[in-house]
Chains A and B, each alone.
Chain A
Amino acid sequence: SQTIHQWPATLVQPVGSPLSLECTVEGTSNPNLYWYRQAAGRGLQLLFYSVGIGQISSEVPQNLSASRPQDRQFILSSKKLLLSDSGFYLCAWSRPGAGLYNEQFFGPGTRLTVL
């Protein structure tokens, strides 16, 4: 069976500090990977997706970046955090195939507070 991990679970960071969130998937090969952000009480905002190693597509221009150094590893980074970066960050995966519209499976999330 497939599992998805995210860490850390919770993070409190000062404004201007760097960020690195990690997501790994087990039990599948060549998954599509996604980073979402959810502000408090709001819906999902797709930040990045990846269909393969080194292939990253950005949906929203901002001070965040993503990388996929290995097939089942997806990293979200920032050089300098803003207050507006606070939120609940969710990583998800879906089976590879035509398009990105397969069912997505979510990790447990990272709650980021920027002070």
Chain B
Amino acid sequence: ELKVEQNPLFLSMQEGKNYTIYCNYSTTSDRLYWYRQDPGKSLESLFVLLSNGAVKQEGRLMASLDTKARLSTLHITAAVHDLSATYFCAVASDSNYQLIWGAGTKLIIKP
């Protein structure tokens, strides 16, 4: 069974701290996506990772992909309240050519 596991599922942290969200997957894949969802809103694309070793950064967020370990990370540096949201990873499966979604990580950043 194809699985995408995110952890943690819930994270409450202080402003100014660093933290990492993990996305593990069980299928072979060389592309992975990160999305952000604000409460009550739709999903917004954050990062597209298309190869092993890919690293993308925007502001305080940095995403990376290790296809050998079947792992992607979303690192938050010096968190600010505006980054509070739910973050989803989605893995493109080589076996059935579909996106497999993680359950999402709800991130709350306290002042």
- Hey, which bits of chain A sit against chain B, CB under 8 A? 42-44, 46, 90, 92, 98-109, 111
Q: Do A44 and B101 contact each other (CB < 8 Å), given the known contacts A101-B92, A101-B93, A103-B33? A: yes
CB–CB B45/A103 < 8 A: yes
- 27 residue pairs A–B, Cβ–Cβ below 8 Å: A42-B103, A42-B104, A43-B88, A43-B101, A43-B104, A44-B88, A46-B98, A46-B101, A90-B42, A90-B43, A92-B43, A99-B92, A99-B97, A100-B97, A100-B99, A101-B31, A101-B92, A101-B98, A101-B99, A103-B33, A103-B48, A104-B33, A104-B45, A105-B45, A106-B43, A108-B41, A109-B41
**How many angstroms between the C-alpha atoms of A97 and B20 in the bound complex?**
33
In-complex Cβ contact of A109 among B33, B35, B42 (8 A): B42
Across-interface contacts of B90 in A (CB, < 8 A): 104
Rounded to whole Å, the gap between the CB of B24 and the closest CB of chain A is 15
B42→A108 contact, CB < 8 A: yes
Could you say which residues of chain A place their CB within 8 Å of the CB of B103?
Answer: 42-43
With CB as the reference atom, state the residue of chain A lying closest to B44: A106
Give the nearest-CB partner of A97 in chain B. Answer: B97
Quick check: B42 and A106 within 8 Å, CB to CB?
Answer: yes
Taking the closest CB of chain A, its distance from the CB of B89, in whole angstroms, is 11
Q: Which residues of A contact B31 (CB under 8 A)?
A: 101
Residues of B within 8 A of A105 (CB): 45
Residues of B within 8 A of A108 (CB): 41-42
Report the minimal beta-carbon distance from B22 to chain A, rounded to whole angstroms. 16
Chain A positions within 8 Å of B33 at CB level: 103-104
Sample of 19 further A-B pairs with CB below 8 A, known A99-B98, A106-B35: A42-B104, A43-B102, A43-B103, A43-B104, A44-B88, A90-B42, A92-B43, A100-B99, A101-B31, A101-B92, A101-B93, A101-B97, A101-B99, A103-B45, A105-B45, A106-B43, A106-B44, A107-B42, A109-B42
Q: CA separation between A16 and B44, bound complex, in Å?
A: 33
How far, in angstroms, from A99 to B99 measured CA to CA in the complex? 9
Cβ of A55 to closest chain B Cβ, rounded Å: 15
Taking the closest CB of chain B, its distance from the CB of A88, in whole angstroms, is 8
